[in-house]
Structure 1
Amino acid sequence: MSSELGRKMMDQVYGEGFSENLPVAATPMLEKTVDHLFGEIWSRPGLSVRDRRLLVLGATAALGRADLIRIQVEGALANGELTAEQLREAVLHLHYYVGWGNGTQVHNGVEAALLAHEAKEKK
């Protein structure tokens, strides 16, 4: 279905085994996401995964999508890229650039990911 490089990069971005949860049935959108977005774009030199994640967090914050923020934060926590303190500082900073309503959604996504991560760590 999709390139091995794309799957490896997805696992690097979102945590070990992430790509194993992809649907078996390939759709054109899923194939392009894995092959192009992760296999070619996220894999390019010049920016680290952490740098790219911060860009995605900013863009996603502007959309006010707590669900997508949570996915990125879970990946950042799994990879040790950002601490809870750094994430909460980012929430405050983003409030001033994306508006209070969208910033509140960023807060909700970050806090949900932090709670899930903390629960996982306690196991």
Structure 2
Amino acid sequence: MSKREMGRGLLRKIIGESYFQKREASTNDFNKDLRALSEEYCFGEIWQRPGLPPKTRSLLCIAMLTAMGKSAELRLHVGGAITNGCTVEEIKEVILQSVIYCGLPAGIEANRVAEDVLKERNLI
């Protein structure tokens, strides 16, 4: 199995079948190369490494996306974190820690995004 195929399988698991199918349906000539890059190197290479479990990688993504203020990607990764076994409490703690290092506005936005995702999944 190629790294891209492995990455696509992991991505499908993390983001869920419904979102994966929407992503597939919206792939076009403009975005297909970027998506292939993400599938092969992000999810096929880095996420497949044995050094950190998926749960830890998810928590790191939440912290980094909070720091960068990337709400759309944060939404996706909060859902993925739940899929990867993170608890609501762990997600909350990562966001609270991020507030201290990234600033209150970034933390408030991250908290808002996480809260929306967790409500959608009936977890809070």
Q: TM-score range by the shorter chain?
A: 0.7 to 0.9
Map 1:57-68 onto structure 2 (within 5 A).
57-68=62-73
CA contact (8 A) 2:59 2:91 kept: no
TM-score (norm 1): 0.81
SS of the residue aligned with 1:3? helix
C-alpha distance in structure 1 between counterparts of 2:91 and 2:42, whole Å? 24
What is the match of residue 113 of structure 2?
109
CA contact (8 A) 1:61 1:102 kept: yes
Instruction: Let me know the Cα RMSD of the aligned residues.
Output: 2.1
Q: How many matched pairs?
A: 117
Unpaired runs of at least 5, structure 2: none
The sequence identity of aligned pairs, in percent, is: 28
Unpaired runs of at least 5, structure 1: none
TM-score (norm 2): 0.80
What is the match of residue 74 of structure 2?
69
2:28 aligned to which of 22, 25, 30: 25
What is the match of residue 13 of structure 2?
12
Letter in 2 for 1:100: L
